[in-house]
Amino acid sequence: MRISGSTALVTGANRGLGARLVAELLRRDAATVYVAARDPESVAEDIRRDPRVRVLALDVTDPGSVAAAVDATSGVDLLINNAGVLGFGDVLTGDLALFERDLGTNYLGALRVTRAWLPSLRAAGTRGAAVVNVLTLIALAPVAPMAGYCASKAAAHSMTQALRAAVRDDGIEVIGAYPGGIDTDMLAGVDADKADPAEVAERILTGVETGQEIIWPDDASTGAGKLYLGDPVQLETMLAA
């Protein structure tokens, strides 16, 4: 997948990792970048001023919003499912309403968006198209205080695998990115090592351009990813502790 000259769409693109992905796409000479957010007014003014940017209202949990956004776009050949929410809670006592919200956004929202833009991606498949699902290392093994979030991302991980097989003959690459903790508002109250979101964005898009189906976009996820590939139970034990 070549980013230069591409038409990209990034969900949850108004802040955090999404905003850094938009900046990196523009730096790599994407022709058009649809910057999608539930609140379009929250997109930074310096991003809006770039003539390649198209700001798009999109709530991934709302079928009507998704349908309207599809009608407002054309030629999308790179879809980055980045929109996400995080509700804290352990598996026994966590608020099930938060767990349902996380599943609705992180799993079903990403699937809804992918299905909606599939015709555009299939049309671009002969010259190169890709779906990038921004997942998380803890989709592969949970941490106790984020049980619902981990489960929603695990579902999105499984969806990524199923989608990869389903569109393999359409010329569409399906890529999973599995970052560790990132220094964004989502983890503002968490005391842990966190990666620079600009560096994570750069590594994700380098992985896209070099044909990686699985991307470990920071140092922590690279090390833990190697552990997972060698011994999944050991990673589960490490994160549970």
pLDDT digits (tens, 9 = 90+) for 149-202: 999 999 999 999 999 999 999 999 999 999 998 886 666 566 677 789 999 999
Q: Which two tokens stand for residue 190?
A: 């968490």
Cα separation values, 58 from 34, 61, 135, Å: 10, 9, 19
pLDDT digits (tens, 9 = 90+) for 93-128: 999 999 999 999 999 999 999 999 999 999 997 789
DSSP code of 181?
-
**pLDDT given at position 183:** 82
Active centre residues (catalytic): 149
Average of per-residue pLDDT across 88-93: 96
Cα dihedral sign, 186-35-11-180: negative
Q: What is the secondary structure of 37-57 as a DSSP string?
A: ESSGGGS-HHHHTSTTEEEEE
Count the alpha carbons within 13 Å of 18 in the hemisphere toward its beta carbon: 27
- E runs forming strands in 6-95: 7-10, 32-37, 53-57, 78-81
Model confidence pTM above 0.85 = yes
Average of per-residue pLDDT across 18-32: 98
